[in-house]
Structure 1
Amino acid sequence: MEGLGWIAAIIVGGIAGWIAEKIMRSDHSLLTNIILGILGAVILNAILAMFDVAWGGWIGQLVIGVIGASLLIWASRLVRGRA
């Protein structure tokens, strides 16, 4: 999560994971939401960096985290066969 400290990354990651959980109609714990939000943001930021696209700040990272976490939930459902 570019431009955010550790505490801010945990907060934004938790919120992003929670929003993605509601969008994807899944049920996860707080820790899983934080991990999904942070990991989703890291992965999507890496993909967007290949195209020279960067969204900074809290709001940008929140949007990136929600999209990335939603993609991770979708991918996990594909692997488990619940898509």
Structure 2
Amino acid sequence: MVGAIIVGIIAGWLAGKLIRGEGFGLIGDLVLGLLGGLVGGWIFGALGIPGQNGMIGAIVVATIGAIILVWISHVIREA
């Protein structure tokens, strides 16, 4: 559980920095990172890409999912 929270914080922070350089605060980044892990895992599974190995793989998958969620949130805000 603690590992997933750490991965979520790192992934959310990375996503916030990679997309327009702005995050959503610690709680927002945590939520985006945790949800990003689910979204990233689902996307990788749907594409038939094998699961992540270790902490770095989990961070990469969660960050990709979080980037997608941050991008969607920016699209919704601009609409």
Give the TM-score band, short-chain normalised.
0.7 to 0.9
Q: How many aligned residue pairs are there? A: 77
Report what 1:57 is aligned to. Answer: 54
Identity %: 36
Q: What secondary structure, in the 3-state scheme, does the structure 2 residue paired with 1:26 have?
A: coil
Moved over 6 A (4+): none
Match of 1:3 in 2: none
Q: TM-score if structure 2 supplies the norm length?
A: 0.87
Q: In terms of mean alpha carbon deviation, does 20-29 or 32-41 score higher? A: 20-29
What's the offset of the Cα at 1:49? 1.1
Output the CA distance in 1 between the equivalents of 2:47 and 2:63.
Answer: 19
Residue of 45, 59, 67 corresponding to 2:64: 67
- Structure richer in helix, relative to its length: 2
TM-score by length of 1: 0.83
Paired letter, 1:18: W
SS of structure 2 residue aligned to 1:14:
helix
Q: 2:8 aligns with which of 8, 13, 34?
A: 13
Cα drift, residue 21 of structure 1: 0.9
User: What is the DSSP-based 3-state SS (H/G/I as helix, E as strand, rest coil) of the residue aligned with 2:48?
Assistant: coil
The answer to whether structure 1 residue 31 and structure 2 residue 27 are counterparts is yes
RMSD: 1.4
Which blocks of at least 5 consecutive residues in structure 2 are unaligned?
Answer: none
* In 2: Cα distance, 1:65 partner to 1:47 partner: 11
Ranges in structure 1 where 5+ consecutive residues have no aligned partner: 1-5
